[in-house]
A and B are shown apart, each in its own frame.
Chain A
Amino acid sequence: MFVRFFYMLREKGVPVTPTSFLRLQKALALGVIGSLDDFYTAARSILVKSERYFDLYDQVFAHYFKGAQIEGMEDVELTDIARALLEEWLKNPQEMAEALGLDEETLAKLTPEELIRYFLDRLKEQDGAHHGGNRWIGTGGTSPVGHSGRHPGGMRVGGSSRSKSAVKVAMERRYRDYSQEGPLTEFQMGEALKRLRRMIPHGPRDVVNVEKTITETMRNGGEIEIVFDRRLADRLKVILMIDNGGWSMDPYVGIVQTLFNYARSQFKDLKIYYYHNTVYSRVWLDPQRHLRPELIEEFARRDPETRLIFVGDAAMAPYELVGENGSLYLGQRDSRSSQERLDFLARTFRHAVWLNPQPESTWRYTWTIGEIGKRFPMFELTLDGLDKAVQHLMRRH
């Protein structure tokens, strides 16, 4: 039932899994969904797992149910669903077994063909048994769910009821704000960067170490000897290098500012340096890049466990990167090319990433992005990108 709806959601980019689709079928079979309104909310809570997709869901729902006739299954979709189903099955046999109502062993014995057949049969069976044709939904209008008696243990519906139809509600697109395109806020950054930390013992010894206490007590002939440890605290060192020069970074000032604010309030041991386009013999502690320079060679003395994060668009003229006198600034004569400087930093700090505020899809049009990407793993400055970058930074090498 609603195979096309499922397929449409997938096509529009809502990550719906076949397992959750089967679960929706189960909910339909249980009779807890009695109207289109119910279907709207129930299907959303079962199929869609993030508010970022609520808006898309609304659009698909409105499109699909707005006077739409529910059509029969078509071969094309089924092969697609079958393929998705198989993928899912390979990934998580146990969950799949549960959703299909089989035990794992029986499932394991099925060939892929049999599995798909079984899946289809189940869909058909539910079609006949519970829905009585295509148009069973939306005719009743009132919900039998939740009011006293009908569903044992159900919640009573209280508060105010929206007297609009589900399609109308969907068409309001209440969740537009939550869709993925929104700008990154400091709060979101915080979420993404939360894992970026290293816990080491610090502070007074005030935590009982049970294991050691027991060992020491035994050693002491049963006389209790309590052993205290230091508490774990975050002592991660972070160096943030920000490209703040030139017009090419201008559009990203806001987002970099957010990152900067977050980093400053969050990391205990943070150094922020500034550079323009790429790194030459020195970087600066002051945003004007004038007063407080620091030589790149000095960084060799830093703790190699420090996490180095570059922020920049990495877009420049090739000679700025490879030329020995690449710097745009007069008076900044240099013996080595920026390339070599970057190599040096990459060697010094094992945990380093480059965050690029430009969308990843445009990276391949800029030669220098590719070159820098060879030295530092590059990630998009978005929620997902930050997440991946943090994973990379915290990886054990």
Chain B
Amino acid sequence: MKPVGETVQFRGAERYVLDDELAKIVNVSMALEMPLLLKGEPGTGKTMLAHAIAESLRMPLIVLNVKSSMKLLDALYQYDTLTRLNDSRFGDSKRDVSRIEEYIRMGKIGQAFVADCRTVLLIDEIDKADADFQDDMLDVLDQMQFDIIEIDKTITARHRPVMIITSNAKKDLSDPFLGRCNFHHIAFPDPEMMRLILGVHFPDLSETLARASIQTFYRLREFRGIEKKPATRELINWVRALRCDPDFDLKRIEGGDIPYLGVLFKKSLDLNLALQQAGRSRK
């Protein structure tokens, strides 16, 4: 199989700060060969974890981005009827039209099953799909095999992939689903952790700027009535913005004058609220 396009945007373990607790949970899940279900606020690094695991274990990473309209079959394999139809009509391809197998393409789960080595399979945002999809998928992952009806062939996994499943939902998934997963909720990083995270993204970040920005960031998160609080991603972008601005003066932040609020607050209502409250706190 191909080593999957995701390697391109692969940020790697060097850019991910793994906390101790999470590492233990990953290890237990791997030992028990169970999928690990991760929940947490957006921006707590759920998706990044899978990237980090893949990198540190030197396994290829396969990402299945779940969509609401997705059928389980899409994740397993696709029978490309249109191409076959086209080939049979015009007959100018090298494929053998009478062999259906040539028109079967593996989906993401299929790829993980037929891979030559153990892979990390990231199933991202499982909550988008409906409950049936979720349960059926776990059945497949439990049995480690599925049938391709068109050619009456059973695909059995050569290696049990390391499975990471993420969910943004505050709502719980179905009981049978949860029963088959290990669970972890990633809490929002504390300031100390945040300093480490900033450290891996900006190795040359000055201590004063780091401290001031983190302090401001957590203060902004405390603002009342904010619907979408700024998360790690916003902080990183904000620090990047601050560093790009030649006129930026650290004293301004300390004085309560916060530039580029728009980087931190993405909803106009939030931004207005933040502007008001930031203005009020200015000395």
Contact = CB atoms under 8 A, between A and B. Distances in A.
A217 B19 contact: no
B21 A41 contact: yes
A155 B23 contact: yes
A46 interface: yes
A210 B29 contact: no
A26 B28 CA distance: 10
Contacts of A213: 82, 85
Contacts of A92: 176, 179
B218 to A, nearest CB: 15
Given A49-B183, A159-B18, A222-B89, A27 B53 contact: no
B192 interface: yes
Contacts of A154: 27, 30-31
B17 A155 contact: no
Nearest to A199: B69
A42 B26 CA distance: 9
Secondary structure at chain B's binding surface: helix, strand, loop or mixed?
helix
Interface stretch (B106-114, B166-174, B205-213): B166-174
Contact of B185 (A17, A54, A222): A54
Interface in A21-72: 23, 26-27, 30, 32-33, 37-38, 41-42, 44-46, 48-52, 54
Contacts of B57: 153, 155
A185 B86 CA distance: 51
A229 interface: no
Interface stretch (A1-9, A143-151, A290-298, A366-374): A143-151
B65 interface: no
Contacts of B86: 224
B93 interface: no
Contacts of B185: 50-51, 54, 175, 178
B100 interface: no
B228 to A, nearest CB: 8
A387 B169 CA distance: 13
Contacts of A174: 187
Nearest to A210: B81
Interface stretch (A107-115, A187-195, A269-277, A306-314): A187-195
A145 B24 contact: yes
A140 interface: no
A168 to B, nearest CB: 13
A155 B34 CA distance: 15
B8 interface: no
A160 interface: yes
B32 A188 contact: no
A20 interface: yes
Contacts of B170: 185, 187-188, 191, 383
B70 interface: no
Contacts of A162: 20-21
Interface residues of A, number: 59
Interface string A149-173: 0010111111111100000000000
A33 B34 CA distance: 16
A42 B29 CA distance: 9
B181 interface: yes
Most buried by A among B36, B39, B169, B179: B179
B83 to A, nearest CB: 11
A224 B89 contact: yes
B179 A19 contact: yes
B71 interface: no
A214 interface: yes
B25 interface: yes
B24 A46 contact: no
Contact of B17 (A26, A42, A158): A158
B180 A95 contact: yes
A49 B20 contact: no
A186 interface: yes
Nearest to A223: B89
B184 interface: yes
Contacts of A48: 183
B134 interface: no
B178 interface: yes
Contacts of B30: 153-155
A155 B183 contact: no
B183 to A, nearest CB: 5
Interface in B66-105: 69, 81-82, 85-86, 88-89
Given A155-B53, A383-B170, 10 more contacts: A30-B31, A41-B21, A145-B24, A146-B24, A154-B27, A154-B31, A155-B18, A156-B56, A157-B20, A187-B170
18 contacts: A27-B32, A32-B28, A32-B31, A33-B28, A45-B36, A146-B27, A151-B31, A153-B30, A154-B27, A154-B31, A155-B23, A157-B24, A158-B17, A160-B19, A160-B196, A185-B170, A222-B88, A224-B86
